[in-house]
Amino acid sequence: MYKDVEMQIQMKSEGDLLIDDYLEGIMQFGMITMFANSLAIASFFTILTNLLEMKINLNSMMFYSRRHEAMADNGIGKWRGMMEFIAFICIPVNFAIIYFTGDGTWNKAGTSSADKYLKTDMKYEALTALLIIIAVEHGFMLLSTGLALLIEDVPVSVREQEFKRNYIKKIAEEKLI
C-alpha cells in the first residue's frame, strides 16, 4: 500500500532547479529575440529542444528523483524585469544587424546594404541611412512601450475574481473571530 511513498522517500532530491530553468529560458529568449534575423530557423530548433527537454525532465521527475514540494509564488519575480529589458534591447540590436550586415555590400557612393531593406531606388549616404534606421528603430521602441502601457498585466475578470475571493476570505475570518 505504501510502496510508492517508500520509493519516493528513497529517491534523491534534485534540489532547487527553478533558478537554472529560468536562467536557461531567459538566455534562450535573449538569443532568439536579439539574433532572430541572423538565423531565423533557430526559433524552430529552440522549440524542438524545449519539447525534448520537457519530456526528459518529466521522465526524470516521474521515475528517478523525489517529487518536488509544491510552493505558491506570485509571478516570476526579477526575471520579468530581465525579460522586459531583453525585449526592449532586441529592437536596436536587430536593426543594427540589418544595417551593418544586410547583404554585406557597400558601394562606392557610401551607401549601406540597408538600402535593400528600405525598398527604394534613392541612394542615401551612410550617415543618412543610419539616421533613417535609428528613426525607424526608435519608432518601434515607442510602439513597443505604448503597447506595454495599453495592455493590462492582469485582466479585469481576474482582478474581479481576486477581489471576490479576498472579500469572501475576509468575511469568513470575521465569522471565525
What's the whole-number mean pLDDT along residues 29-50?
87
Q: Which position has the higher pLDDT, 145 or 129? A: 145
Read off φ and ψ for residue 64, nearest 5 degrees. -120, -5
User: Packing angle between helix 78-100 and helix 126-150, nearest 10 degrees?
Assistant: 150
- Residues 58-68 have pLDDT tens digits of 887 777 776 66
**Could you tell me the pTM of the whole model?**
0.60
Mean pLDDT score of the chain: 78
Q: Residue 43 is placed in which grid cell?
A: 526559433
pLDDT at residue 163 in the model: 92
Q: Return the C-alpha torsion angle 164, 170, 176, 177, nearest 10.
A: -170
What's the whole-number mean pLDDT along residues 135-144?
86
